Amino acid sequence: MSAPTHLQAFAETSKAWPFEEARKALARVRKLGRQQAIFQTGFGASGLPHIGTFGEVARTTMVRQAFQLLAPDIPTRLICFSDDMDGLRKVPENVPNGEQLAPYLEQPLTSVPDPFGTHDSFGAHNNAKLQSFLDAFDFDYEFVSATQMYRSGAFDETLLRVLANYQKVLDIILPTLGEERRQTYSPFLPICPDTGRVLMVPITPVDGVAGTVRYRHPETGENIETQVTGGACKLQWKADWAMRWTALDIDYEMSGKDLSESVKLSGRITQALGATPPEGFSYELFLDENGEKISKSRGNGITIDEWLSYAPRESLSLYMFQNPRKAKRLFFDIIPKAVDEYLTFLDKYDALEDAQKLSSPAFHIHNGQPPSQGTPVTFALLLNLVSASNAENKDVLWGFIDTYAPGTTAQTHPLLDGLTDYALTYYRDFVAPKKSYRLASDMERVALSDLLAKLQALPSDSDGESIQTEIYAVGKAHFDENLRGWFQALYEILLGQSQGPRFGSFAALYGLQKTCALIEAGLNDALV
């Protein structure tokens, strides 16, 4: 499903970052006179897909979708490239039968046996996981294997071009290396015919036309001459990146901020090969709960499976859309906010002017076709409802929802039905363990007693706004200008947490009578 074409004119000037990026890619395509636009994202095949994998493909897809609206007459492709010819550097700790991999160190991942016993190689196993991962999110992509491209000869022409410009490539890379590394560096890594290992050895170009290089065998000392084509050699990754851009005619590829210098270097190599580097932008990396850079090896972040245990994938797409150039915390406590922000954007979308719709995250998450039906209940309200009702299953929650919004069912509102499951799980794992009720102070007791009387006087079917008005008035009367302290007290005393959504909305959902009973329990110190 694609975005409505009548929005094309607004796409020309939209300041939403996917359109800004798409216009850059379009300018490149038109300047080079190309008949299609090719987007790329790359993956290391030594590990499993992770939340960063999702982020890069989701963001690239958003740019591609924006491009398609800008230039519907230009076909687009998204290549997901696997660096599965890289040598196995170390035995992973999280695989079975790891000891069986030790003899295959430094061999291409597609030559290493699969420790799981399900595929022809470790690389093939991880490639299958990657494709299954991408398919689960309905990404539209073409999978490309480095091994297949090298061995099939698809890269041969460009590899020969690298060899013909060998000194130019060296002149670009060597100044960035330390003295010792400069003495041995070569962009070409021969594949040892005896051991199958990817060799990091000095090489000497022999014949640019024939495409051969010479190196000394690291174990036998024998001088060996080999082709650079047909999979007999591979390139080190910075040169490889440039070669790939050139060979595949890549128009756009984004990357993390940690690779910004490598992007510049590979761009210069691409120019040395007589090609034009792709467009792209540098996105910031994620931070953990302490503001430190997330590392796979440290495991100090959140996995995609964990996120999707507590929230729908659209909330994760929103997180990836927002402020991609800003370093952001990626931890469990941000999930409820992401869910409710997504619901808000979804709820407001239809009322937007056409030009405004292109700036809405809902547009980019759903490729211009967001669902028209949202939910009458926020995620934060559901979490508070679980807390107050001690619900252990969704039927209890639906009982409250049915009273609050008659006619709303799991069938009519499947998104809300899914949120009830997520709320129960998130509350169990993150809210319940941290709940801490406190006693009310003398001043707070007076205010709560006043509030109880005010709420008892309201009609039982009062809406959230009417209830909120009374809560606000009581707060003004007893807390002067410290209304924040008043609302915080309500949550700490009645729900055992420091914050939450509008208390009036919660009271309407929970039920006025039950809310009054909750206040009475707080006044009687029965919650502590």
Q: Could you tell me how many residues make up the chain?
A: 528
The whole-angstrom separation of Cα 336 and Cα 426 is 9
Q: Quote the percentage of the chain above a pLDDT of 90.
A: 82
Task: Tell me the pLDDT band of 44, cut-offs 50, 70 and 90.
Answer: confident
Q: Is 188 exposed, middle or buried (0-12, 13-18, 19+ CB in 10 A)?
A: buried
Cα→Cα distances 120→24, 43, 127, Å: 41, 19, 11
Lowest mean pLDDT among 22-31, 97-106, 293-302, 469-478: 293-302
The whole-angstrom separation of Cα 454 and Cα 456 is 6
Three-state SS string across 468-524, please? Answer: HHHHHHHHHHHHCCCHHHHHHHHHHHHCCCCCCCCHHHHHHHHCHHHHHHHHHHHHC
The whole-angstrom separation of Cα 421 and Cα 351 is 29
β-bridge partners, 77: 38
226 and 210 in contact (C-beta within 8 Å)? no
What predicted TM-score, i.e. pTM, was given to this entire model?
A: 0.93
The whole-angstrom separation of Cα 85 and Cα 79 is 17
Q: Quote the percentage of the chain above a pLDDT of 70.
A: 99
Q: What is the pLDDT of residues 243-266, one digit of tens each?
A: 999 999 999 999 999 999 999 999
Q: What is the pLDDT of residues 169-200, one digit of tens each?
A: 999 999 999 999 998 899 999 999 989 999 99
Written as one letter, the residue type at 153 is: G
- For CA atoms 208, 212, 216, 222, the dihedral sign is negative
186 and 203 in contact (C-beta within 8 Å)? yes
Task: Tell me the pLDDT band of 297, cut-offs 50, 70 and 90.
Answer: low
91 and 356 in contact (C-beta within 8 Å)? no
Q: Per the structure block, which two tokens stand in for 184?
A: 């041995």
Cα atoms found within 13 Å of the Cα of residue 199, Cβ hemisphere only: 22
Written as one letter, the residue type at 322 is: Q
> DSSP labels for 148-173?
HHHHHTTTHHHHHHHHHTHHHHHHHH
